[in-house]
Amino acid sequence: MAGGSFQVAEDYLTRFYDGWRDLMDNKSDPRTQGFPLMSSPFPTIAISLTYAYIVKVLGPKLMENRKPFELRKVLIVYNAAQVIFSTWLFYESCIGGWLNGYNLRCEPVDYSYSPKAIRTAEGCWWYYFSKFTEFFDTFFFVMRKRYDQVSTLHVIHHGIMPVSVWWGVKFTPGGHSTFFGFLNTFVHIIMYTYYMLAAMGPKMQRYLWWKKYLTVLQMIQFVLVMVHSFQLFFKNDCNYPIGFAYFIGAHAVMFYFLFSNFYKRAYVKRNAKEKAALKANGHANGAIKTLKDGDVPPTRNGQLNGSANGFHNTFSKFTTEMCNPALNTTTRQRALVNAGNK
């Protein structure tokens, strides 16, 4: 009995392995098989898991007894390089198709060896490679002890992207699903420009009022990707692999809700509390003015002072605990030098 069960398990494993090899070797795009890291998804998965371990465990431990690095010049150069890299990737996606003949309704993958098709496939690989370079966003946060920026959203977003893009490069390096990279590289041009300016210091503060609109832009990006992907469920007249439409669309939905929740916490709720605090401050100032003019009986002086002090303590606690730590007085200047959450 035991021997028979072992034989059945062995047969299942053999079939699974044979099916896996058939998928990797015979059903993937042969043009990208020789590209670095394309033979198997496991090296990419290992790199992404290592990234998560470094930024959440190893990095903070190594920095525990060290002073934070400033890295101001490094950040300026790094973000400038990312702007240039993203601009080139966006240009390649435009020339590769999205401003050069691609159909927004449905675009098949060109598996030929034509110069345009090969250029598009290579551009897809470089987009995949760019997801590894973005790990340095988080590494720099850890080196500067900006652990408030190493949020779950940040780590999930950066850690999952190389693995997700790997499948696209392996099986569909071109066509409909590259719309995500087309939009994403454009967003990254704007995003890294912001971080480069922020790294230049307090003198740039007046020009950085539009930070929250970066998150809005990212959410718009995910909505457009959702619509673009899910339209194939109703009509797929270009025979695009429908599994990848599900795959890209599901990622867009997940990231939309993650970024939407971040936006609500970072801006909507914070603004509502700030308005409530300002309104309370106005009432307190009115009461103090009335007392100053002599309209309030002296017997209420102690009660009024107690209320004003209570408001002051509440507002102080609010600004310390509820606001983004980067906006606190003690860290304001450092936050302007360091980029915000990416």
Count CA atoms within 13 Å of residue 41 on its CB side: 18
Q: Which of 124, 108, 112 is nearest to 35 (CA)?
A: 124
Q: Which of 32, 189, 182, 187 is nearest to 107 (CA)?
A: 182
The angle subtended at Cα 126 by Cα 41 and Cα 47, nearest 5°, is 35
3-state secondary structure of 294: coil
**What's the CA dihedral at 155, 158, 163, 164 to 10 degrees?**
110
CA 139 to mean position of chain CA atoms: 14
For residue 24, give the amino acid letter: M
Q: Where are the alpha helices (DSSP H) in the chain?
A: 2-26, 42-53, 59-62, 72-93, 115-133, 135-143, 152-171, 179-199, 211-230, 242-263, 269-293, 301-321, 332-337
Structure letter (DSSP) for residue 96: I
User: What b/e string do you get for 4-42 counting C-beta neighbours within 10 Å, with b at 16 or more?
Assistant: eeeeeeeeeeeeeeeeeeeebeeebbebbeebebbeeee
Do the beta carbons of residue 76 and residue 199 sit within 8 Å?
A: yes
The catalytic residue positions are: 157
Dihedral sign from CA coordinates of 125, 127, 132, 133 = positive
**What's the CA dihedral at 259, 202, 55, 264 to 10 degrees?**
-20
